[in-house]
Amino acid sequence: MKQEAINLKDLQKELPYKWRVQSSRYGKANCVAYIDARDAQDLLDDVVGPGNWSTEYYEANGLLMCRVGILVNGHWVWKSDTGSESNVEKDKGHASDAFKRACVSWGIGRFLYRLDIQTLQTKDYKGKEYPYAPEKDKIIFDGDTLTKYINWKVKNGK
């Protein structure tokens, strides 16, 4: 069976994204935008078809690597990258990050790197620094609230 023509440029479309704290110190939190791995998987399914892409994980120089292959004109083309461990679920986060970074090589989520890092004030709560929304006099504890606040802040030029 012949593979339908695919437009790999469609992998570069902007996806819904969230914000997370990348680093925090000296009363400031640097926040970066990210996509969920499942959003990248859905985009691959939509653009190239569920049977026309695959992943493989392997170790190279002591690093966990992920490679994402896409069937292009009857031949597998592979692109790979490594990731970093998560603060929450170490191994799962590492595998997910490697997958998403390999997807960036295909253009998925590349738009995120053109977004500015958002810097927020932090406030101490029980010995830990959390992002703080001074306009709302509120400490931000969860990712959904952080995403809503940063999107509001960017939209309103704050």
Task: Inform me whether the pLDDT recorded for 1 exceeds 50.
Answer: no
Q: What is the pLDDT of residue 99?
A: 96
Q: What is the pLDDT of residue 89?
A: 67
Q: Are 123 and 132 in contact (CB under 8 A)?
A: yes
Co-location of 98 and 131 in the same domain: no
Prediction pTM value: 0.84
Q: Which amino acid makes up residue 148? A: K
Co-location of 83 and 146 in the same domain: no
Co-location of 55 and 31 in the same domain: no
Co-location of 31 and 42 in the same domain: no
Residue 158 confidence class, pLDDT cut points 50, 70, 90? confident
The answer to whether residue 116 is domain-embedded is no
Task: Inform me whether the pLDDT recorded for 2 exceeds 60.
Answer: no
Q: Are 105 and 99 in contact (CB under 8 A)?
A: no
Co-location of 78 and 48 in the same domain: yes
154: tokens are 């960017």
Q: What is the mean pLDDT of residues 9-27?
A: 94
Alpha-carbon distance of 128 to 140, in angstroms, equals: 12
Q: Which of 59, 121, 129 is nearest to 94 (CA)?
A: 59
Q: What is the pLDDT of residue 29?
A: 96
Residue-wise pLDDT for 68-114, tens only, equals 999 999 999 999 999 876 666 666 778 899 999 999 999 999 999 99
Residue-wise pLDDT for 32-73, tens only, equals 999 999 999 999 999 999 999 999 999 999 889 999 999 999
Q: What is the mean pLDDT of residues 126-149?
A: 93
Q: Which of 84, 87, 88 is nearest to 97 (CA)?
A: 84
CB atoms within 10 A of CB 158: 11
The answer to whether residue 6 is domain-embedded is no
What are the residues whose beta carbons fall under 8 Å from the beta carbon of 43, sequence distance 6 or more? Answer: 11, 13, 15, 108
Task: Inform me whether the pLDDT recorded for 149 exceeds 70.
Answer: yes
Alpha-carbon distance of 69 to 84, in angstroms, equals: 21
Alpha-carbon distance of 133 to 12, in angstroms, equals: 32
Helix axis angle, 90-105 relative to 37-48, nearest 10°? 40
Look up the domain containing 144 and give its range. Answer: 15-35+121-158
How many independent structural domains does the chain possess? 2
